[in-house]
Amino acid sequence: MAGKPILHYSNDRGNMESIRWLLAAAGVEFEEEYIETREDLEKLMNDGVLMFQQVPLVEIDGMKLVQTRAILNYIANKHNLYGKDIKERALIDMYDEGIADLNQLIIRYPYSDPGVKEATIAQIKDKARNRYFPAFEKVLKSHGQDYLVGNQLSKADVRLVELLYHVEEVDPTIITSFPLLQMRICPSKQVPSL
């Protein structure tokens, strides 16, 4: 049996957060080795384990994987969170790319200068409210199932819940206009008849 995956990243959310969420959803325990100094990162680069000289890095099943989407796809495939056929995988990837677009803004804004930070928060709110949340609400409403694709948990569902929590931290009122999305993070609330 393979050991626990080892995650190499700084002690913050960043691009590793989605990997943590997906592993947790799959019920996989993991270990983390935090990159705390420039020397820690340089050691990984000098050891040749960072193909593109950047993290995240996940040691899993005898491999040293880099690139967030490649890691997510591997975990999703391994743990049956990637649909049952090529059509479902295409939909999952499409939804996941939309989630990733908004998530990149959210990942960057805490590290922005104050003026840029406020503009980024306004952009996050606008895109969540007017582009991404309406699209996901429409998908869920269109088929009436509990999950985005195939009525089973997928990486897109896990990433969507992660995104909802992150946007809620920025502005908890945004999600109130989207009852089906709200059910993802507060299942005890009843969704009104649609």
Per-residue model confidence as pLDDT tens digits over 34-90? 999 999 999 999 999 988 989 999 999 999 999 999 999 999 999 999 999 999 999
Q: Are strands 63-66 and 6-9 parallel, antiparallel or unpaired?
A: unpaired
pLDDT band at residue 193 under the 50/70/90 scheme = very low
Neighbours of 183 (CB within 10 A): 16
pLDDT in tens, 130-165: 999 999 999 999 998 889 998 899 999 999 999 999
pLDDT in tens, 164-176: 999 998 899 999 9
Q: Which helix (H) or strand (E) holds 109?
A: none
Tell me how far apart the alpha carbons of residues 71 and 111 are, in angstroms, rounded to a whole number: 24
101 pLDDT above the threshold of 60:
yes
Write out pLDDT tens, residues 108-129: 777 778 888 888 899 999 999 9
Question: What pLDDT sits at residue 146?
Answer: 87
Domain at 6-78, CATH homologous superfamily: Glutaredoxin (3.40.30.10)
Q: Indicate if the pLDDT at residue 20 is higher than 50.
A: yes
Element (H, E) at 193: none
Residue 61, token pair as written in the block: 């099943």
Q: Which CATH number fits domain 86-185: 1.10.357.10, 1.10.510.10, 1.20.1050.10, 1.50.10.10?
A: 1.20.1050.10
Does the pLDDT at position 103 exceed 60? yes
Nearest-angstrom CA–CA distance, 117 and 125: 12
**CA R_g for the chain:** 18
Whole-Å CA distances, 27 to 20, 80, 125, 162: 11, 12, 32, 16
Q: CATH topology of 6-78 equal to that of 86-185?
A: no
Where are the chain's structural domains? 6-78, 86-185
pLDDT at 105 over 60: yes
**Prediction pTM value:** 0.88
Q: Where does the pLDDT of residue 187 fall: very low under 50, low under 70, confident under 90, or very high at 90 and above?
A: low
Give the type of residue at 40.
Answer: D
